[in-house]
Amino acid sequence: MIFFDNITIGDGSTSAVNGTTSHTLHLGPNPTKDILCNHSEYILEQVKIHDFTGREVLTIAQVPVGESIDVSTLPEGIYIVNTLVGGKKKYTRLLKY
C-alpha cells in the first residue's frame, strides 16, 4: 500500500511465526520541504539519511512516535531513509523539495 504524501512500508499485518511482528513504517509528508514526522506506532531506534551517491547526510539516534526530523538543511533531491525499527532495518525514498 503506498500513499502519495505518506510513506508506507509493509501491509500492516502481523505474523505469529516465532513471535515476530511486522513493523509498519509511516513517515510523512513525502515529498517534504522541511520536516519528516514519525507517524508510526513505534519509536524509530535510528534514522540515517543518505543522498543518491550513498553519502550519509543526516543521522538521528532516536525518533519517538509523533516527533519530527528536521530536513530543512538538506538540498533538494532524492534521498534514501534507512531506519531501525524493532531491531529491523527499513529503507524508503524521500523526495526533498
Cα 37 → chain centroid: 9
pLDDT score of 2 more than 50: no
Query: Do 43 and 20 meet the contact criterion of CB atoms below 8 Å apart?
Result: no
Report yes or no on 67 lying in a domain: yes
DSSP-assigned states of every residue in 1-50: ---SSSEEES-S----GGG-----EEEE-SSBSSEEEE-SSS-BSEEEEE
pLDDT score of 17 more than 90: no
Say how many domains are in the chain: 1
Which domain does 77 fall in, by range?
7-96
DSSP-derived 3-state class of residue 9:
strand
Report yes or no on 84 lying in a domain: yes
Report yes or no on 73 lying in a domain: yes
Percent of the chain with pLDDT over 90: 73
What CATH number should be reported for the domain holding residue 90? 2.60.40.3080
CA–CA separation, 52 and 64 (whole Å): 26
